[in-house]
Amino acid sequence: MGRTREAGCVAAGVVIGAGACYCVYRLAWGRDENEKIWDEDEESTDTSETGVETVKGAKTNVGAGSGAKLQGDSKVKPEVSLGLEDCLGVKEKAYSGSHSGGGLEAKAKALFNTLKEQASAKAGKGARVGTISGNRTLAPSLPCPGGRGGGCHPTRSGSRAGGRASGKSKGKARSKSTRAPATTWPVRRGKFNFPYKIDDILSAPDLQKVLNILERTNDPFIQEVALVTLGNNAAYSFNQNAIRELGGVPIIAKLIKTKDPIIREKTYNALNNLSVNAENQGKIKTYISQVCDDTMVCRLDSAVQMAGLRLLTNMTVTNHYQHLLSYSFPDFFALLFLGNHFTKIQTMKLIINFTENPAMTRELVSCKVPSELISLFNKEWDREILLNILTLFENINDNIKNEGLASSRKEFSRSSLFFLFKESGVCVKKIKALANHNDLVVKVKVLKVLTKL
């Protein structure tokens, strides 16, 4: 009887072990479907885990064509479980053990020892935990002004990692990525809830609040948001008056001295919108020389330089404040030659404002200019540059005639604008060559200029 009872216990153990293996197999069948949600950048490392190696070595995709649904409870905890590959390995080991001899007792011991080893191996692996690699913190209501290097949001990889951290924990451990960690932007330790969005149209009390914030803060990020908000509101005539009456022009203009180029750019943009108002120009004229100096010495073709040129162009539309910039004429012509396409166009618009004021003609034509300036009359330039340089030449030529400066040619040096445009004759030859230009608008402008010579 003792042998029979022992044989029955062993048989029961085999049945229980086989049932446990089958249950684990069924549970693991649909589990790997969840692994499809990982990003494309980890697909190369996922292939070896989502695939299942059969006993003969054939690789099949877990869940492919199985019709199994995602096993997705929102509160699933990390579990120690056996994968399909592990179950197949258990079966293989048990099968090999049964053929190696030892009877039913040996078979049962081999099966349960294998199960115990697999469970211990799985228990040693940890679940994947999402971490935020981007560490920039912002108040939820603080808007993100455009154009600032680095942006206001965490890095892309940090956002993805954060999303994974809030999702389900993964039962299967992942191999670490070999990619270099993403660069993170500096953390702004102090949070600040800016009371408005940058595109809000504000009333006078709200504008006063923004001006108070701008006056008291030294944080460049808050300064930028406040300046963009004020600049957007200064696009409306009723707010142009309100900002001036609230004493906003000096508060904004004091940031011209800052070393941060982004803050200077936003300052010039805000003052540029305010300068459309004639009364505001009377306030801004105090700072026009400082703006001009900074525009000439800052990085060539930079956003700060373009913003400064736009402000100077607006301030010289009328004749009231042009004399404040006459000392910078040589710098303007040097910038006209050295700058890129956009800088050239904006500089020519500024100089054309001076050429439309006959009182500025003598100072303008007597300044020294680079001889390479003549290259702007080449037909390779586009329509906008050619039309502007032809307008500039036409205005100067008219002013020389009207002011009677042609008889005073001895007053001007050979490096002056007068000599380049009037005496050398090179400029006239270049203009005549443009008479056959392909652009009809340019051709008409050239004929108009030639008739005045």
* Same domain (yes/no): 240, 273: yes
When comparing pLDDT for 41 and 17, which is higher? 17
For residue 446, what pLDDT is reported?
95
Q: Is residue 215 part of a domain?
A: yes
- CB-based contact 316:284 (threshold 8 Å): no
Burial of 337 by CB count in 10 Å (0-12 exposed, 13-18 middle, 19+ buried)? middle
Q: Which amino acid is at 135?
A: N
Q: Supply the pLDDT for residue 424.
A: 77
Q: Considering only residues 193 and 196, tell me which one the structure prediction assigns the higher pLDDT.
A: 196
Q: Identity (one letter) of the amino acid at 89? A: G
Q: pLDDT band at residue 417, thresholds of 50, 70 and 90?
A: very high
The whole-number pLDDT of residue 107 equals 63
Dump pLDDT digits (tens) for 367-382: 999 988 999 999 999 9
Instruction: Flag whether pLDDT at 230 surpasses 90.
Output: yes
- Residue 241's domain comprises 194-315
Same domain, 370 and 401: yes
297 phi and psi angles, rounded to 5 deg: -100, -10
Are 207 and 241 in a shared domain? yes
**How large is the average pLDDT for residues 409-414?**
86
Q: Could you read off the pLDDT of 121-155 as tens digits, one per residue?
A: 554 444 333 332 333 333 333 333 433 333 333 33
Angle at 351 between CA 360 and CA 296, to 5 degrees: 110
Quick one: 274 and 360 in the same domain? Answer: no
- Please indicate, yes or no, whether residues 205 and 269 belong to a single structural domain of this protein: yes
List 60's β-bridge partners, or say none.
52
Report how far apart the first and last C-alpha atoms of the chain are (Å, whole number): 132
Query: What is the spatial distance between Cα 176 and Cα 168, in angstroms, rounded to a whole number?
Result: 19
pLDDT score of 121: 57
Contact 74, 45 (CB under 8 A): no
Among 315, 347, 375, residue at a domain's last position: 315
81 phi and psi, to 5 degrees? -135, 165
The answer on 357 and 295 residing in a single domain is no
- Across 54-67, average pLDDT: 38
Q: Among 29-33, 76-80, 209-213, which stretch is predicted with the lowest mean pLDDT?
A: 76-80
**What is the chain's length?**
453
What is the pLDDT at residue 385?
A: 95
pLDDT confidence of residue 296: 95
Q: Residues 376, 310: one domain? A: no
DSSP string, 233-262: HTTSHHHHHHHHHTTHHHHHHGGGG-S-HH
- Evaluate if residue 84 carries a pLDDT over 50: no
pLDDT at 29: 57
Question: In this structure, what CATH number is given to the domain that contains residue 289?
Answer: 1.25.10.10
211 in a structural domain: yes
Radius of gyration of the chain from Cα atoms?
39
**Does 303 fall in a domain?**
yes
Most confident by average pLDDT, 54-58, 65-69, 369-373: 369-373
Most confident range, picked from 75-89, 149-163, 347-361: 347-361
Q: Is the pLDDT of residue 365 over 50?
A: yes
Domain boundary among 282, 315, 348: 315
Pairwise CA distance, residues 308 & 321, whole Å: 16
Amino acid letter, 432: K
The full DSSP string for 368-424 is B--GGGGGGGSTTS-HHHHHHHHHHHHHHHHHHHHHTGGGGGGGS-TTBHHIIIIIS
Give 423's pLDDT tier (boundaries 50, 70, 90).
Answer: confident
Q: Is residue 430 part of a domain?
A: yes
**pLDDT tens digits, 238-273:** 999 999 999 999 999 999 999 999 999 999 999 999
| 319 or 99, greater pLDDT | 319
Give how many domains the chain has, as a whole number.
2
What confidence score (pLDDT) does residue 425 get?
85
pLDDT band (50, 70, 90) for residue 4: confident
- Res 395 pLDDT > 70: yes
**What pLDDT score does 166 carry?**
43
Does residue 140 fall inside a structural domain?
A: no
User: Average model confidence (pLDDT) for the chain?
Assistant: 74
- Determine, yes or no, domain membership for 179: no
pLDDT classification of 21: cutoffs 50, 70, 90: confident
Tell me what percent of the residues of the chain surpass a pLDDT of 70.
Answer: 62
**E strands along 300-388, which residues?**
none
Is the pLDDT at 158 greater than 80, yes or no? no
Q: Identify whether 227 is part of a domain.
A: yes
Tell me what pLDDT residue 276 has. 94
Do 279 and 340 lie in a common domain?
no
pLDDT per residue as tens digits for the range 266-312: 999 999 999 999 999 999 999 999 999 999 999 999 999 999 999 99
